[in-house]
Amino acid sequence: SKIIIINGPNLNLLGVREKGIYGDQDFMTFFTALRESYAGVELSYFQSNHEGAIIDKIHEVGFAIDGIILNAGAYTHTSLAIADAIAAVTTPVVEVHISNVYARESYRHHSYLAKNCKGVICGFGLDGYRLALESLLTK
Ligand code: DQA
């Protein structure tokens, strides 16, 4: 199967930004290892700090592949446009957050995206992406 991980704003700084919250591993190291351990899966990766670019990517892949793993960063809590993009496509989307957003500020407790997603995984660090992958491979 074909699955993409889409990371939103500031997630290019994983391993550098707020290490106490997001850990010290950079995403490409993690992604390379994940791809190796799921050699049968065509796993790709896209990151953007721009809302429209994330929407364009969801449109581009959202009728063609088997799953989208989406960490939209702070857009999770603000973006009706990304919520609408998820609703518009046919590929299932799993929402992921590295941190436990419910243990943080109240403005991180609401997601505009969650109702249009297959499910939400948060609080398990980078392992959340693997858990999301497992959920998309289990039909
Ligand atoms: C995040 C949680 C968001 O609230 C935050 O804005 C992020 C990262 C997470 O992965 O824990 O940028 O999505």
Ligand 1 midpoint to CA 125 (Å):
11
pLDDT per residue over 44-70, tens digit each? Answer: 999 999 999 999 999 999 999 999 999
How far, in Å, from the CA of 68 to the mean position of ligand 1? 17
ipTM of this complex > 0.85? Answer: yes
State the Cα–Cα distance between residues 88 and 63, nearest whole angstrom: 9
**pLDDT > 80? residue 32:** yes
Q: Tell whether the torsion through CA atoms of 100, 106, 109 and 112 is positive or negative.
A: negative
Helix (H) or strand (E) holding 14: none
Domains of the chain: 2-137 (3.40.50.9100)
3-state helix, strand, coil in the chain (%, to 5): 45, 20, 35
| This model's pTM is above 0.90 | yes
